Amino acid sequence: MKKKIIIIFSAIITIILFLAGGYFILKNQEEKDMKKILVEQKPRIETFFNYNYKGINNITLTSTKKNPTGVIHIKGYLNDNKDFWIDAALYDEAGIEVVNSAKEVDETFLKPEYEENIKTVSEIEKEETSHK
């Protein structure tokens, strides 16, 4: 009887260790994927701000998070001012198209010609390609 209890207890411990190991491996891979997304999408975010805004000297990306619907959000801020927050949603493989930001960002930096019609990254790329 004692031997059966030890075998069952050992099996339970083994299963728990495998599950915990699998969880940590998946969590580590997800973190690597999120860092990769930051690196890949930063140029698109920079393109968006360089084209539609003036006076943006630097863009700091701080985190990525997947919301319950599976959309990845990249968060950060502009010009070393955390009040100038940004939030870019990555809906598909095409990449970031527009970046949401604090109201003060538009009030301070938005170019007047884009007040009514901000260009998406795809529109900017298409326009730049047609000018070459």
Are the beta carbons of 78 and 56 closer than 8 angstroms?
yes
pTM exceeds 0.75? yes
The letter for the amino acid at 63 is S
Terminal-to-terminal C-alpha distance of the chain: 82
pLDDT in tens, the chain (132 residues): 788 888 888 888 889 988 888 888 888 887 888 788 888 999 999 999 999 999 999 999 999 988 899 899 999 999 999 999 999 999 887 889 999 999 999 999 999 998 888 999 999 999 888 876
Region of 57 (left: φ > 0; alpha: ψ -120 to 50; beta: rest) is alpha
What pLDDT is stored for residue 132 in this prediction? 62
Q: Which helix (H) or strand (E) holds 34?
A: helix 2-52
Are the beta carbons of 64 and 105 closer than 8 angstroms?
no
Q: Which CATH class is domain 40-130?
A: alpha beta
Q: Where are the domains of the chain?
A: 40-130
What pLDDT is stored for residue 9 in this prediction? 85
